[in-house]
């Protein structure tokens, strides 16, 4: 297949592209705007693969997307491009409306025009796979409740509301225009190449730097954690074997309280990279004011994707977190280039040189 991945320089997108190029024979076009969260260094080990192409473009730019579709001629689009950080959405929601809603609309319209012009055989085989989040469902209050594919939407933040809106657009384009879509809603991802503003890498790097380890509120919020490479496998399974029009929830079967996540990271660092001064990294844990609209609990029922497509996560939270901590300890140079912004300066220089 020829697969166009939007947002392929981001955390989940880069994991998906590494999987596609390392474990399949598919051809990939990575279309990414390269915002602060887009890092081509996450794809350094595949950038010279002859089956890989990169195009810097914004999904809001419908003309640019249409040109890319015409030239690359994809058999599937896997749409991951999105603004995704809840705290940033609270401070500045406009970018989330623009990328997640307007951008998805523009991508859908460019895709519809492209798909309409395909031969009958290619039109039948084409897939538009929209990758979303469990945060569109709001939060859970019962200790045994789970998000299913039929859970009503109740988003709490500008981020989750914008993703909910994009989900509705995708379903409407299937219902109204017949576009062959697939949707997935995933739980919290973690793993290698995660941008350092997110909880797990932030805690690892702050701990090593001797900084406070911030925990919102009392730290009792519960999340279902999904190792990013397990997610990449699930996404490929859905786009190749999923039923058109269906939604599949992807979860890690790993519910953890935020405080326990932080304490688990501290325990691993105590073992793998002990502090120079005596004591545990736990001494750096600091409780901070809770953020507005903070959901209490997310948990996914991933039974449908297991029953219908045969996918289950390979990593437990313990095994995935150990791999993640090891990766960050082994790749501190990558982390420091993200933290000091040099990854963006180097990237822009390389792109200017390439375009010249």
Task: Clarify whether 159 is annotated catalytic.
Answer: yes
Pair 72, 53: CB distance under 8 Å? yes
209 Cβ partners below 8 Å, 6+ apart?
A: none
CA distances from 23 to 16, 17, 18, 51 (A): 10, 10, 8, 12
Q: Which of 135, 139, 224, 255 is catalytic?
A: 135
Q: Which of 32, 41, 58, 134 is catalytic?
A: 134
State how far the Cα of 189 lies from the Cα of 299, in Å rounded to an integer: 13
Q: Which of 114, 159, 190, 343 is catalytic?
A: 159
And the tokens for 147? 């998000």
Kindly list the catalytic residues.
Answer: 134-135, 159
């Amino acid at each position: 297949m020829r697969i166009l991945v939007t947002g392929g320089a981001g955390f989940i997108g880069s994991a998906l592209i590494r999987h596609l190029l390392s474990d399949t024979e598919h051809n990939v076009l990575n279309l990414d705007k390269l915002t602060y969260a887009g890092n081509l260094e996450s794809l350094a080990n595949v950038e010279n693969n002859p089956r890989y192409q990169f195009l810097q473009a914004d999904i809001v730019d419908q003309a640019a997307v249409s040109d890319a579709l015409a030239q690359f001629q994809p058999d599937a689009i896997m749409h991951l491009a999105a603004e995704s950080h809840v705290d940033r959405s609270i401070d500045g929601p406009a970018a989330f409306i623009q990328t997640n809603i307007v951008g998805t609309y523009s991508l859908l319209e460019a895709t519809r025009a492209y798909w309409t012009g395909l031969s009958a055989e290619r039109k039948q085989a084409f897939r538009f796979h929209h990758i979303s989040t469990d945060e569109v469902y709001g939060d859970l209050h019962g200790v045994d409740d789970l998000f299913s594919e039929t859970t009503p939407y109740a988003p709490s933040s500008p981020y989750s509301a914008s993703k909910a809106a994009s989900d509705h657009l995708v379903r409407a384009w299937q219902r109204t225009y017949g576009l062959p879509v697939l949707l997935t809603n995933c739980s919290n991802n973690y793993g290698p190449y995660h941008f350092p503003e997110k909880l797990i890498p932030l805690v690892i790097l702050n701990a090593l730097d001797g900084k406070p380890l911030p925990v919102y509120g009392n730290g009792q919020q519960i999340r279902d954690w999904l190792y990013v490479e397990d997610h990449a496998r699930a996404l490929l399974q859905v786009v190749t074997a999923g039923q058109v029009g269906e939604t599949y929830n992807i979860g890690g079967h790993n519910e953890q309280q935020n405080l326990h996540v932080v304490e688990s990271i501290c325990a691993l660092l105590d073992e793998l990279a002990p502090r120079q001064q005596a004591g545990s990294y736990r001494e750096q844990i600091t409780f901070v004011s809770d953020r507005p609209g903070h959901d209490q609990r997310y948990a996914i029922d991933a039974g449908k994707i297991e029953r219908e497509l045969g996918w289950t996560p390979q990593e437990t939270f313990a095994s995935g977190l150990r791999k993640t901590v090891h990766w960050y300890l082994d790749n501190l140079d990558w982390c420091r280039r993200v933290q000091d912004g040099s990854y963006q300066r180097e990237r822009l220089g390389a792109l200017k040189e390439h375009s010249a």
